[in-house]
Amino acid sequence: MNTISWGILMPIGAIVARNFKGFGPAWFYIHVSCQILGSLGGIAGSVTGLMLGHKSSGIEYKGHKCIGITLMSLATVQVLAGFLLRPKPDHKYRRFWNLFHYALGYTAIVLGIVNIFKGFDILEPPKSWRYAYMGILAALVFLGVVGAAFTHWNKKKN
Ligand code: HEM
Ligand code: HEM
């Protein structure tokens, strides 16, 4: 649940917001759907982690736990601020909202990926799990970088 939510859905949502604005308004609905699903799945996954942690008394994974709790807060703030605080695109304060939203959003994505690898270290599943996620991550990074280069180049051309 955590890997799919924080590690796949949320990065896809960011890639779509970053690179697909030129294709019409659908990017917004895809972004919001990915981020809401990612947040709900990610919070459910973290609560599952906390419950597992509670059952194994005496064993605590401090770093993994702190990042997990931070992520739940970031996702909650991000979704609430997305709906309640977002000014219209041409509003004079919109750039501050963007700055805040980008900073929190990318922080959550990076922390999410870090915690997934910490999770693999805790559970020690077969190596293939880690490799499978590394493959997906490489594909996401590739998509993000190619998309960023393409939109950058397209903006320059126009
Ligand atoms: C955990 C939830 C969320 C995360 C992690 C997240 C992350 C991001 C990121 C990283 C970007 C920047 C993409 C770029 O580089 O251009 C972005 C853009 C955007 N997000 Fe979110 N987002 C979340 C939820 C939401 C919600 C709930 C809304 C609206 C209801 C929203 C609306 C937007 C808009 C409008 C933009 C484009 C801003 C602009 O460039 O003018 N996001 N988001
Ligand atoms: C962003 C992703 C993740 C988040 C937010 C998250 C969150 C959490 C949290 C909050 C705990 C409780 C820690 C404690 O009480 O000491 C936990 C425990 C745990 N997590 Fe994660 N986790 C993530 C990814 C993963 C992954 C990918 C795996 C395995 C492949 C994993 C495996 C575990 C295990 C096995 C425990 C239980 C520890 C115990 O029984 O004491 N986690 N997780």
What CATH number is attached to the domain comprising 112?
1.20.120.1770
pLDDT at 101: 98
Give 79 Cα–ligand 1 centroid separation in angstroms: 9
Ligand 2 centroid – CA 136 distance (Å): 20
Average pLDDT over residues 87-105: 98
In angstroms, what is the span from residue 140 Cα to ligand 2's centroid?
23
Mutation probe of ligand 1 site: the residue of 31, 90, 93 with most atoms within 8 A of C-beta: 31
Alpha helices in the chain (DSSP H): 2-4, 10-19, 26-55, 62-84, 94-123, 127-157
For the stretch 44-84, pLDDT in tens is 999 999 999 999 989 999 999 999 999 999 999 999 999 99
Q: How is residue 77 written in tokens? A: 């703030």
Distances, alpha carbon 60 to alpha carbons 29, 67, 89, 112, 124, in Å: 39, 13, 45, 19, 16
Instruction: Please state the domain count of the chain.
Output: 1
Probe residue for ligand 2, chosen from 61, 71, 76, 121 as the CB with the greatest number of ligand atoms within 8 Å? 61
Instruction: Give the least confident one: 35-39, 53-57, 99-103, 119-123.
Output: 53-57
Rounded Cα gap, residues 81 and 84, in angstroms: 5
Is 123 close to ligand 2, i.e. is its CB under 6 Å away? yes
| 158 pLDDT higher than 90 | no
pLDDT band at 4 (very low <50, low <70, confident <90, very high): very high
Q: How high is the pLDDT of residue 28?
A: 98
Q: What is the pLDDT of residue 156?
A: 81
pLDDT for residue 157 is more than 90: no
Domain range for 126 is 2-157
Q: What value does the mean pLDDT of the chain take?
A: 96
**CA–CA distances in Å: residue 96 to residues 15, 31, 87:** 21, 19, 10
